[in-house]
Every structure is written in structure tokens, then in C-alpha cells.
Chain A
Amino acid sequence: MNTVKLLPAKASIIIVGAGIQGLALAFNLAELGVRDILVLDAGYWQGGASGRNGTLIRGAFSSPEWTRFFAHSCHLWQGLSKRLGENVMYSRRGYTMVGERQSTAELLDRTLEVHKTCGIHSMLLTPTRLREVLPALAHERVSAALHLPDSGVAPHHAAMYAYRQACEACGVSIHYRTEVTAIDQSAGRVCGVRVGEERIASDTLVLAGGAQSNHLAQLAGVPLDGYPMRLEAMALEPTRPLIGPAVALLDRLCYMHQTARGEVVGGAEVAERPQHTLNADVPVMAATARAYLEMFPQLGHARILRQWAGLVHISKDFGPLLGAHWQLPGLFVSAGWCYGHAGAPAAGELLAKAIVSGDVDERMRPFAVDRFERNLPVVEPGIVLSHFE
């Protein structure tokens, strides 16, 4: 997977970024019959956000747009092992959104209504039921809990391995540690990329470079919303199962779950000036630790194994930027992902369809790359993130 391979002189489609977005797209394109797909990545396998995320698969949010998109993705995750021929270890263990403030309880009530409208299987848990689902929780602090039984987690290493194997089995050529240094245009459309001295010709180019998206858009000479943002997580030393479902502590902007390896992995958001580094810092670790300690008191003695940071690309409304770029023919974008791991199967499928047939699916349309130009942001109140003011 990182052996030295020669770059081809041309490709039918070049995807920049071999994270889960790039690989999911490449796989879906190959399934639609596209040949000579080339995927280039400046970093190493799982070196970016696809190897640093919290691995949560959340199948519903508080807005109909997000909910429809991610419910579809969640559905695809459930059959993904079969489709890719490798075990992605999608664990349908449920996802519980826990509110502490009264206002959050009200948000969860409204969210449930959205889910009903979208036909999503979800439920508000009674205190008794919550005790069964999350016995270790500090129940006295909880105002409401909304449970998504079909959601869960999938370890990123398994998913990335499965996508990579499936891509290579379809003949997709993937090159890590291969940085695109220029994007060529002729006659007003994309005509290829350069890797140092080497030129690779292609009339279709997809930017799926995660935190590098703005940099890549600059290479293409086109505008793109968003900026890179550091998110951090940490892992506790393993214990036998204590926390069943994935959990979002909405009032603490904290998400967490206990992996199949026994580590509790999660992170809380702390308002900070956006950082363009992969170094972890102290405040997120402290805030996450405080959330764990107060909401799951048995974790208080546990020791922290490691903390790390990842960079995501954040758009104005936190939603993905998905589809054709409005200024440069031949250029497509899959960026703005902060729930990119969860969204990859749907994004790969729908964007592949859009590239091959030109049909933009209804579930993808709200996330069009030019929506801020048209002043049509997607408002999603139920995510565990905030902009720095």
C-alpha cells in the first residue's frame, strides 16, 4: 500500500485525497464501470482525518437535510462489509444523545419530530429505559435522551482497510506520499495535475483532500468556502465493556464510545482560535476528562493512554460541500466534512452517480458547493461543534 509505483501518464478520473471520502468515491466510480481511476494522497494511509476521527456513525440529526443524507449513509454502512468483501466492523450498537439542560431536552423533542417526518427509527428514552441502555451514566444530571438504535460505530482502520482492498481489487490505482503540486487547465476546464515534474492528464478531477481542501482549491484557482479546524480526541486505557452505545453529550459538545478494544475514545470541543496543526493541546483533554468524570463517574480513576488531533475542513454551516464546482468544468469537490467518516458511503455513492450520469440526488442537492453563493446554508442545530467567535 505504500510500495513505490509509477504514476500513469493519464487517468479517466483523478481523485486528490485517499482518505475515506476519496476511497469511497473511487470504489463507487469503479462499480459504475469507470476504469483508470487514480487516487493521489500527500500523506500516509490513515494519516489524515480518516485515521484520526472518533469512528461514530450517526444516522440522524436535527435538520431534515442532514438526517436524510446521514440516514442513507448509515443504511449503507450496515451492508458495507458484504459490498466491499471485507469486514468494516460496523457495530450497530445504537447512538444516544444525552441532554442536561432543559433547552436541550426541548431540542431533542423537536429533533424527534424531524425524525418522524423523515421516517427515522428513533426514540426518547424514559429514565428507566436510559438506565438499561447506559447504566454507568450519572442519571441525576440528565434532562432527556434520544436514542438512535440503527446508528453505531465502525473502526476507521477496518473501514479504510476494506475500502482500500475493494478499490485495489477493482483496479483503482492509489498512491500515498504523492503530493499534487499543480492543477492544469486548458480551454477553461480541468486537463490534469502535476506531481512535481510529472504530468498526469485527466478531464475530471475530484478534490477530496480534507483539511487541505482550501489549498487544493487555490491550486485550481477557484474559490471554496471553509477553513481547516483542529479537532482533538483521546483514548483511555481499556476495560471490559462499561458503555454500550455511542454517546453524544450535547451540552458539553462531547462525543464518546467504548471501542471493541475496550478503550473509551472521545473528545469535547473547546472554543479556541482555529489551529492548523496536528499537535494535541491541554484544554480539550481537560474538558473531555471533566465530561467523563461527571457523566460516567467510574471513569474517574482511568488513565489516559493517548491524545491526538486531526484536521477537518469546516464550512460555514458545518455541512459538506459536495458536487461539481460552479466555476471550473471538470472539477468536483467533496469537502467540508466534519462527519466525513459517517457520511462516506453515501457521499461516495451519490457523488459517483453525479459525476458519471450528471444526476444530482435529492439527498445531496442541499449540500451543493455553491450554496453560500446562493445564500442557501443548511441549518443544523444538533451537531457537536461550534465556530470560534
Chain B
Amino acid sequence: MSVVDLRLAHASHETLEFFWNGRPLLGRRGESLATALLANGVRTLAWSRKSHRPLGYSGNYVSGVLARVNGIPNVRLDLQPVSAGAQVQMQNCWPSPGFDLLRLSRLIPAGWIQGGFEHTNLVPSGSALFQRWEALLAFLAGVAEPAERAGEVAVPTARYLSADVLVVGAGPSGCAAANEAAQAGRSVVLVTRGQGLARYAQAAGRGVPSLDERVQLVTGVEVFGAYREGELLLAAPHDPAQGALVLEAQQVILASGRRACPPVVPGMWLPGVMEARTALIMAHEQAVAPGTRVVVVGSGDEEAVARRLRELGVNVVAARSISDLRCVAGRGQVRAAVFAKPVVCDAVVHAGPWLTDASLTFQSRAEGLLQLREARVTPFRIVGAAAEADQSLPVAARSRYKSLLCPCFDVSCAEVEELLAQGIRDLEVIKRLTSCGMGPCQGQPCWDSLRALVSARSGIALADLPRPTLRPPRRALSVAQAAGLADVVAPLQ
């Protein structure tokens, strides 16, 4: 672990001491724990569940930023601000992060470890050893120690908000849609994950849109679920001490933008690979560079992203088309981006392929009977980048390099290719056989990678491969926050 300074010129000078596995580190005010760790040269924040592959802050794979903070397991380090004295500990280690015997699992040949259920006939149920075997699997799969016992957690009461129009996303398109509705005399609620308006537009160097003062702005909450065929939406702030939000509106407008998905290329899961929005927002708001030598790849806007990162002070060594990327090389972290020739770097920022998060539209359409009989249209209006067609994910040819579809569960392309060879092409079936996308990220982005791979290898058109069910709340809601909904949403009578 080389300590290099990734902080940019506009970083805050106010330092805060926190602890990583008991070791004191200095963060700056305004940084998240993930950013502060990156700035301290800590790139590996977590280990994949089975093969103990290193995972880091990517903006795509949530399992790369889960750690224990002050005795609470699975806290998202990218959403948790640095605070003085915070105790942050790596998970999936035993007996301790410093002396971790679980790392030995990396010695097991990758082909032996399948992402799918621990379905081995080595120790069948009914045999004398099974209960012990299951206990071992449960210990390994559990990854994190449960929370410490400290009495009942307080239940924050949920809030109910209704308006004529609900707009999700406070980027330029969301603000424009909200303004338009407000000017037409309708009551408007605008909800955003950010702490203010147009976080990404600002990070990308575009201005802040103006917002009609009649629009009610709700910041810092994630809208994670659409219920009752889109009539009811739920949102939650990341801080579990604050209540969830129940939203009802006559019209729902989704202006939630798009995110860059990792292409299906070997090494894309390595610590050091980062999604472009995440990288830009981090460099702009928190003044930390993704690496000392950064390669930007993209599906058209790589030059613009590279230019903006340079403006923010990041050392971008190359900007290339993502379709030329053959693999990302490195063992514990990114060492090079390999095109026709390798480009040495310690970070790869991918600006694309851009995809819209389909969760809310999927849920609002109603799953219908067995998902097969009804294919309704979503009642939601979609505006801005979210309305644009999904870009296709490049899929690397079969190679000797290890290509992972679902890093949290160690599901490899080879495992899915084996199923395809058996004639199994149904994504719902592949999901159940491999566990692809069943981890903390709930298939975002792995199911898009899975679709792209199955389409590329089988020749089935992407449109004929429906995504597996996108189920809420995708860890946006804690048990205590959910309990607070009991008095606010009545059962259907």
C-alpha cells in the first residue's frame, strides 16, 4: 500500500482523525469514509464473499464499500461522512483484518468456487457432518458479525408527503419538469439523493439550474420502491435514525438520469475502477482524485470527462473508447488498462455504457401474474437522460483472463457459459442457479452484465431477455426505518 496524495488543490484543510482496522488515519471534513480511505491509499475496502477477491470504491458494486462502523455492520462507506474518532473495520476477515486466515481461500482454484448455492453433494443433508458443514458455510457467507447488542433501536416515524406532481431527480431535467409543473399551478415535490440541486451537472462543470420557489425540495433521500402499480413510492434517507418517506402524487416524473455500467471485460471489478459520475462527483465535491494516473474510457463522452477531471486537477493519462478496452490488468488493484497495448495506470474511470436504473418503472408496471401475462406500460413520465435508450454493454471475447459478472458472489462468465452450453438461457433460472445479483447490490449492475453476456454468447436479442425482477428496497431501508412505516401505510382493505 503506497501512500500517495490523491487530494486535489480544493480539498478542505480541516482534518479529522478516524480509525481503519484500529490504525489512525486523517480524513478531511466533507469527505466520505470511502473517499478518505482512498485518499489515504486504502483501495481495498472489502473482500468478495467466496474467493476473497479485493473490492473497492467503484460506484457500481455496493459490496465494495460495506464495512463495520462503530459496531454496526454493513455501513456504506461512500455515504457515511468522515467523523472524528469513527472506528471503521473491514469485514469478511477472520480472526482479524491484520491476520486474516480467510485469505487462504484465494488459493482455491477459481473454477472450484461457484457463485451458486452451496450445492455440493460432498456433504449432503442427512449425513452426520451436514449441520457442521452448514454452520461453516453460514459463517463464511455471513461476511459480517451481527450488530452488538445494545437495546432496542429507536423507530423513526415515517413522513407522508403528497403533491400533484412528484419529480425524482434534481438534475437540469428534473428541475425543468418541476418548474414547468409549478408554473402550471400544480403542487410539486422534488426529491433528490444529493444534498442540493444538480450534483452531477455541477461536478461535470455545467451550471446549477434554477428552481421555482413554489417547488418543495427534499434532499438526501433515495426513492427506492414503487408500490401499488405506481400509486405509492417510498424513499429513505441514508441515516437510519431518520424516518422513511411515503410519497403519493397524481403524476410521477422520473428524471433520475443514467449511470455507467461496467462493461463485461476482465478485471472490471478491481479496486481502482470507478464509474464516471462517482469519480466526477468525488473529485468535485470531495476533492480526491480516483488515482495518480487515470485512464478514462467511454462510449462517446470520454474526452469530455477526461477534460473535466483534468480541470479538477486529476492526472488523466489517456482517454479511449470503451470498445477498445480488452481488459483491466492487476491482481490486488488496477495496474494497467489494456487496449491494443497496455497503458499503465492505477485507476480506470468508465464513462459509459450508460444505462437507466429500471427499478421504479419495473415495479410500477405491476409484476402481473407470473410476470408473463401482463406487460403494462409504466404510468410514470420519464424525462432527460433517463428517457434515452440504454447503451449496449461491450462483452469481451472468451479469454484466459478472469471475467466476473457478479463480484460480490464471485459469479464468473465461465459459470454462466457452462449453463448456456446446457441450453439454459432463462435469466430467472440462471439467477437462481448461480446467485448472480443476489448479493447486496441486488443485480445492479450485474443483471445488466448478465443480460449482455447471455445475449452475446447465445445470439438472443437483448429485448427478448427480460431482466430478472427488480425488487425493492435494495438496502436503501433499515429494519428500524421500515418499522416506522407501519403507522403511515395502511393495508389494502
Contact = CB atoms under 8 A, between A and B. Distances in A.
B370 A43 contact: yes
B471 A280 contact: yes
Given A280-B472, A306-B442, A285 B485 contact: yes
Contact of A301 (B119, B229, B246, B479): B479
A51 to B, nearest CB: 7
Interface in A136-164: 136, 138, 154-155, 157-158, 161
B340 interface: no
A272 B486 CA distance: 14
A256 to B, nearest CB: 12
B358 interface: no
A118 interface: no
B162 to A, nearest CB: 15
A276 B493 contact: no
A82 B124 contact: yes
Given A45-B432, A277-B367, A308-B471, A91 B134 contact: yes
Given A91-B134, A279-B363, A308-B469, A237 B485 contact: no
A93 B131 contact: yes
Given A3-B424, A155-B117, A304-B477, A278 B142 contact: no
Interface residues of B, number: 81
A285 B426 CA distance: 29
A297 B117 contact: no
A171 B367 CA distance: 34
**A161, A259, A306 pick with most chain B CB within 10 angstroms:** A306
A304 B227 contact: no
A87 B119 contact: yes
A8 interface: no
B280 to A, nearest CB: 27
B138 to A, nearest CB: 5
B42 interface: no
B125 A307 contact: no
A297 B149 contact: yes
A276 B125 contact: no
Interface string A233-248: 0001111111000000
Contacts of B489: 282-283, 286
B372 A42 contact: yes
Given A278-B367, A290-B486, A306-B442, A301 B475 contact: no
B142 A92 contact: no
Majority SS of interface residues in chain B? loop
A46 B468 CA distance: 13
Contacts of A1: 423-424, 426, 429
B370 A239 contact: no
Interface string A344-383: 0000000000000000000000000000000000000000
Size bin of chain A's contact surface? 35 or more
Majority SS of interface residues in chain A? loop
Interface stretch (A73-81, A186-194, A312-320): A73-81
Contacts of B492: 272-273, 275, 281
Contacts of A307: 471-473
Contact of A44 (B368, B428, B471): B428
Contacts of A223: none
Interface stretch (B33-41, B151-159, B184-192, B301-309): B151-159
Given A240-B143, A303-B477, A286 B72 contact: no
B370 A258 contact: no
B100 interface: no
A286 B485 contact: yes
A79 B125 CA distance: 8
Nearest to A293: B483
B74 interface: yes
Contacts of A261: 117-118, 138, 141-142
B472 A306 contact: yes
Interface string B226-243: 011100101000001000
Interface string A251-276: 00000001111100000001111011
Complex A-B, nearest 9 residue pairs according to Cβ-Cβ distance, in ascending order: A300-B153, A240-B142, A262-B142, A289-B482, A3-B423, A81-B124, A286-B486, A272-B491, A306-B471
Interface of B: 72-74, 117-121, 123-127, 130-131, 134-135, 137-139, 141-153, 155, 227-229, 232, 234, 240, 246, 363, 366-372, 423-426, 428-429, 432-433, 440, 442, 469, 471-486, 489-493
